[in-house]
Structure formats: C-alpha cells, structure tokens
Amino acid sequence: MNSSLVLSITTSIYGLAACLYLAAWVFHKDRLNRPASWVVMLGVAGNAAGFALRWAESYRLGIGHVPLSNLYESLFFFALSISVIYLIVEHHDGQRTLGAITLPLAFLAMAYASLSSSTGDVRIQPLLPGLHSYGS
C-alpha cells in the first residue's frame, strides 16, 4: 500500500467526519458528536500513516527529506495539523462545535490536494536548492 492510496482513503474519512459534525451542529443532534470524534481519530491515524509512508518512500528513493516540499505534501500536513489540534481542544474543553468548522477545512485541503494531484506532479523529488539548510 502506498502513501497516495492511504491519503485518498483519509480524505473520505475526513469527509465523513465533517458531515457528522455538520449534521450534529445543524440538526442539534449531540449523539452524532461522539462517533464523529472517533472518525476524526481514525482520519488522523490514516493521515499520520500516509505522511510516514511518504517520508519512508522518500528515503527508499534516496532523496530522504520530510514530505513538506510541495503544495501536495503541505496540504496533507495542514489537514493533519488542524485535525490533531482540534482533537486536543475537544479533549481539553469538550468543545465539539468547532468540528463543524475545522473538519470541513481538513477535508477540503485533502480533497484539493488529491484533485490537484491528477493534474500536478506529486512524485517525490529532491529538494530545490533554496530549501536546503545552510549546512548541507
């Protein structure tokens, strides 16, 4: 299983979580919040696995850098970051209404990256010279 497949599945998972949170918020159905939280946790696990797989793939190709060098990779990291931050806030404050805002953003970021991958170049490539650190 490659990182692209894992991240595509994760996009669908974030979409489901976004729908659950939006339905809970719009229809005032608090019983949908708990399943939505579990779906987000599943999405974060998938997103982190896809990120780690992409990182491992870059090392296998001899390139070896954190997958943050292009828009495709940055959008997946953005979705992972806001989802993790949302889960921390939800756990700390119990504020689940925020899920109706953050999870659609995560889903849209993942969907845009997935859709732009069909027209753009998503291959793992060496870093541009401007992105190398001073010491390398």
Q: What is the pLDDT of residues 26-82, one digit of tens each?
A: 999 999 999 999 999 999 999 999 999 989 988 888 887 788 888 888 999 999 999
Write down the pTM of the prediction.
0.87
Phi, psi of 58 (to 5 degrees): -65, -35
Burial class of residue 92, CB neighbours in 10 A (0-12, 13-18, 19+):
exposed
Long-range CB pairs of 61-70 (<8 Å, 24+ gap) are: 61/124, 63/124, 63/125, 63/126, 63/127, 65/126, 65/127, 67/124, 69/125, 69/127, 69/128, 69/131, 70/121, 70/122, 70/125
* Better pLDDT: 67 or 127: 67
CATH number of 3-118: 1.20.120
Q: pLDDT tens digits for 94-123?
A: 888 899 999 999 999 999 988 876 656 677
User: Given this model, what pLDDT does residue 95 score?
Assistant: 86
Q: State residue 93's pLDDT score.
A: 93
Q: For the chain, what is the largest distance between any 2 Cα atoms, rounded to a whole number of angstroms? A: 55
